[in-house]
Amino acid sequence: MKIVIDTHTHSIASGHAYSTIDEIARSAKKKRLKGFVITEHGPALQGFPHVYYFGNLRILPKTLYNVRVFSGVELNIMDMHGGVDLSSKYLRNLDFVMAGFHEACFPPQNVKENTSAMIAAIANPLVDGISHPGNPVYPVDIEEVVKAAVHYGKALEINNSSFVVRRGSEENCRNVARFAREYGAMLSCGSDAHYCDDVGNFARALGVITEIGVHHEQIVNSSFEQFMEFSEKRKMERLSVG
Ligand SMILES: [Zn+2]
Ligand SMILES: [Zn+2]
């Protein structure tokens, strides 16, 4: 199986990442990717981009160095009710909208509350997928989360950086993949690169996906067409929110 689009990258605009979009594109080209999604953090974390940044993503060229540039975001899950830190005005035209737990915006709770908050974010029609759901700092009932992802047609991420920066993620990611295979949930595979050389690094995440035997049709970014289809479908739902 191949991953052809990196669905999770951060540029210098994220405040704690170190490469420009141009450098990310050149690295994606070198890694022979067909595209990448720019997913800066949402504005609720200090030092991260102002809302205008997301509204203006549309001025970026559609391709750089023959690699497709997709617009996205990694929102912050803000509360127990599916609240995120950008309104539909800024999200409606993006290609891929992830939401995830980050400590400054949603301090870790117990399993029951983390699970409810994650499922509420999955149910939010503005959200397309959940970033690093295997983060052990936020233990969740993975089977319930996977069932919700199937119900709402959302993607759960197997995040390659988690194996390095979120220690203890491996077993959780394996369980995400295992339940995803069992229930037929969609997964995304992202590098979560904060430096251009890491763009397209999926080895460990892909290792888990292949070890568990998740079908390639369940991985939204395992083909360009599959990602386009998922993105278009999600965009339609986001636009219908008004
Ligand atoms: Zn994150
Ligand atoms: Zn990230």
Over the stretch 59-116, which tens digit does the pLDDT of each residue have?
999 999 999 999 999 999 999 999 999 999 999 999 999 999 999 999 999 999 999 9
Expressed in angstroms and rounded, the spacing between residue 181 Cα and the centre of ligand 2 is 24
**Looking up tokens 């069992």, which residue turns up?**
182
Sign of CA dihedral 111, 87, 131, 183: positive
Question: What is the SS3 string spanning 16-53?
Answer: CCCCCHHHHHHHHHHCCCCEEEECCECCCCCCCCCHHH
Expressed in angstroms and rounded, the spacing between residue 130 Cα and the centre of ligand 1 is 9
pTM score: 0.97
Expressed in angstroms and rounded, the spacing between residue 160 Cα and the centre of ligand 2 is 10
The Cα–Cα gap between 170 and 233 comes to: 30
Expressed in angstroms and rounded, the spacing between residue 154 Cα and the centre of ligand 2 is 18
**Mean pLDDT score of the chain:** 96
The Cα–Cα gap between 47 and 144 comes to: 34
Residue 139 confidence (pLDDT) = 97
Expressed in angstroms and rounded, the spacing between residue 200 Cα and the centre of ligand 1 is 17
Residue 234 confidence (pLDDT) = 97
Question: Which residues crowd ion ligand 2, with CB under 5 Å?
Answer: 74, 192
pLDDT 10s digits, 10-66: 999 998 999 999 999 999 999 999 999 999 999 998 778 889 999 999 999 999 999
Mean pLDDT over 142-148 rounds to 98
Domain ranges for the chain: 5-240
Expressed in angstroms and rounded, the spacing between residue 184 Cα and the centre of ligand 1 is 24
DSSP 75: E
Sequence-ordered list of residues with C-beta below 8 angstroms from that of 36, at least 6 positions apart, any chain: 5, 6, 7, 9, 24, 25, 28, 67, 68, 69, 70, 199, 200
Expressed in angstroms and rounded, the spacing between residue 161 Cα and the centre of ligand 1 is 10
Expressed in angstroms and rounded, the spacing between residue 214 Cα and the centre of ligand 1 is 23
Residue 49 confidence (pLDDT) = 85
| Closest ligand to residue 14's CA | 2
| Closest ligand to residue 132's CA | 1
The Cα–Cα gap between 127 and 215 comes to: 23
Q: Which CATH superfamily includes the segment(s) 5-240?
A: Metal-dependent hydrolases (3.20.20.140)
Residue 242 confidence (pLDDT) = 66
Expressed in angstroms and rounded, the spacing between residue 124 Cα and the centre of ligand 1 is 18
pLDDT 10s digits, 122-138: 999 999 999 999 999 99
Expressed in angstroms and rounded, the spacing between residue 32 Cα and the centre of ligand 2 is 21
The Cα–Cα gap between 99 and 73 comes to: 8
Expressed in angstroms and rounded, the spacing between residue 102 Cα and the centre of ligand 1 is 6
Q: Coil, helix or strand for 65?
A: coil
Expressed in angstroms and rounded, the spacing between residue 62 Cα and the centre of ligand 1 is 25
Name the residue among 96, 177, 103 with its Cα closest to residue 142. Answer: 177
Expressed in angstroms and rounded, the spacing between residue 199 Cα and the centre of ligand 2 is 12
| Closest ligand to residue 76's CA | 1
Expressed in angstroms and rounded, the spacing between residue 133 Cα and the centre of ligand 1 is 10
**pLDDT tops 90 at residue 167:** no
Residue 45 confidence (pLDDT) = 82
CA angle 143-145-151, nearest 5°?
105
